[in-house]
Amino acid sequence: MTKTEKTLTPKLIKKLWMAFILLVLLMGASYIFITGYFANKYSQETTQRLNADVANHVIAEKFNGASPFMEDGSVNSALFGDLMHDMMAVNQSIEVYLLGQSGEILYSVVLDPDDKDAAKSVDLAPIKSFIADEGTNFILGDDPRNPGEKKIFSAAPYKVDNHQGFIYIVLAGKKFQEVSDNLMSQYFTRLGIGATLLTMVFSAIIGLLAIWFLTKNLRLITQTVRSFHDGDLEARIPNPEKSDIEVFAKSFNDMADNIVGNMDKMKSIDLLRRELIANVSHDLRTPLAILKGYIETLQMKRDTLSEIEKDEYLQITHDNVDKLSNLINQLFEYSKLEAEQVVPVKEPFSITELSHDLIAKFNVLAKQKEIELELDNPQENCLVYADVSLVERALQNLIENAIKYTEPMGKVTLSLQKKGQNVEINITDTGTGIPVNEQPFIFDRYKQVDKSTKKQGYGLGLAIVKKIMDLHDTTITVLSKPKQGSSFIFNLPAYQV
């Protein structure tokens, strides 16, 4: 077992675990942030709602007629200053401003006149909408002490001697902010630590359980893959359709089936190959032994043999050399086909013409055996789209066999017939036929139907035919009855002109 395999699952668990913790922490942080935001808003809104009328009270109770805070157009600073101090002493969170008609700050005790950063005026838009809504809506206004910041406020308009303006009271002033910030940071530190600890504990427990459940299938798959790798060819993922990773589980099972299938195929190919080598070497030995015997006789009895005997012996050696070269050629051809070195060059050609040529070529042999060889329907010109030399080879083998396994006075017919998109080619003989139980094996290399009645032949002819059919994506069928004859039938795609 390699290191990678060992660490496969723990690595994944570690990653899932980290992702889970990160997720929980992120959720925790978002929760704290959202809580903080809404808590702050809630507190500000409550404060504003509660103190909405503060500015109105200031105007109504303190200045209404009795003591004008504007005298001759300028601010009565002594009176106004006193009032502000009083108010701010009672409620330290507020800051009171007297504003002019366009929002300019006329007076405030909290503003240092030398402070260059402090605002000189306040935006009137929020103040006006606050007054219009009578303080029922949550509105933020400018904080003159911190320009750019927004604060809750209360405001009310005044009109004294043709002077108009606003009393503007920031409800969460600097003091309020300091206290609030301090409390908030303490609160959030405690909340943060508490939440983090709780999160860690719960995420550890839930995370472990979740990861254990989530990776249950994965562990089962890893275990199965490992067993298969270690040689258990039966190992399959049970109920792949129920697995969380169904596609993977099914693919693995299919792959395992394919591997086992291919292994079986390779084993049987290997077995056949060994059988072929054993048989071929046997078949090579026989003609070689005959050759050797006759050549030795010719050498030793050169002077005593008659001319007729010498001719006969030479003819025998010649025949055996033919046999040997035939076998070697067939073997060479077959091994090339099996190694998929042959690529068919398909083109349109007349199978009728090819058949005429073959009939003419084999007629000599047929006549020698007193067999009638004919082409059925010779007038019709059938065109097919195929590799002409491979088809010729297949037809040669089939005609050769038909002649070989037919007794004198028998008949061999090659017929061509257009059938839809195809041309059907049929080689029929009235020969020995093939027993039904042998028929499925005749296309396997090196299986002669009956070893005892072995004629000249090496069991490669039909194997070559079968390979040629495969290269043309077609199949060959055999119909045969012992003692009545055989038919070999296959189709080739017709060429449409």
Selected from 139, 462, 469, 476, the binder of ligand ADP by CB under 6 A is 462
Asked if 405 is part of the footprint of ligand ADP (rule: CB under 6 A), the reply reads yes
Stretch that binds ligand ADP, among 98-106, 251-259, 291-299, 451-459 (CB under 6 A): 451-459
Selected from 106, 402, 425, 471, the binder of ligand ADP by CB under 6 A is 402
Selected from 463, 468, 469, 471, the binder of ligand ADP by CB under 6 A is 463
Cα–Cα distance for residue pair 176/199, rounded to 1 Å = 33
- When the beta carbons of 95 and 333 are compared against ligand ADP, the nearer one is 333
Asked if 426 is part of the footprint of ligand ADP (rule: CB under 6 A), the reply reads no
Alpha-carbon distances of 448 from 78, 286, 288, 326, 442, rounded to whole Å: 131, 17, 21, 17, 7
Query: Which element (helix H / strand E) includes 492?
Result: strand 485-493
Q: Of 350-369, which residues contact ligand ADP (CB under 6 A)?
A: none
Selected from 106, 391, 449, 468, the binder of ligand ADP by CB under 6 A is 449
Q: How far is the CB of 340 from ligand ADP (least distance, A)?
A: 20
Q: Cβ(224)–Cβ(237) under 8 Å? A: yes
| HSE toward the beta carbon, residue 215, CA cutoff 13 A | 19
Q: How far is the CB of 376 from ligand ADP (least distance, A)?
A: 17
Q: How far is the CB of 461 from ligand ADP (least distance, A)?
A: 3
Amino acid (one-letter) located at 281: S
Asked if 287 is part of the footprint of ligand ADP (rule: CB under 6 A), the reply reads no
Selected from 460, 471, 476, 492, the binder of ligand ADP by CB under 6 A is 460
Q: How far is the CB of 484 from ligand ADP (least distance, A)?
A: 10
- When the beta carbons of 215 and 363 are compared against ligand ADP, the nearer one is 363
- Which of 141, 177, 149, 160 is closest to 80 using CA atoms? 160
Amino acid (one-letter) located at 16: L
Cα–Cα distance for residue pair 98/250, rounded to 1 Å = 80
Query: Residues in contact with ligand ADP, total (CB under 6 A)?
Result: 20
Alpha-carbon distances of 223 from 232, 237, 258, 473, rounded to whole Å: 11, 9, 19, 41
Selected from 461, 467, 469, 471, the binder of ligand ADP by CB under 6 A is 461
- When the beta carbons of 291 and 399 are compared against ligand ADP, the nearer one is 399
Q: Cβ(55)–Cβ(91) under 8 Å? A: no
Asked if 431 is part of the footprint of ligand ADP (rule: CB under 6 A), the reply reads yes
Q: How far is the CB of 442 from ligand ADP (least distance, A)?
A: 4
Which residues are near ligand ADP by CB under 6 A? Answer: 397, 401-402, 405, 429, 431-434, 442, 448-449, 457-463, 486
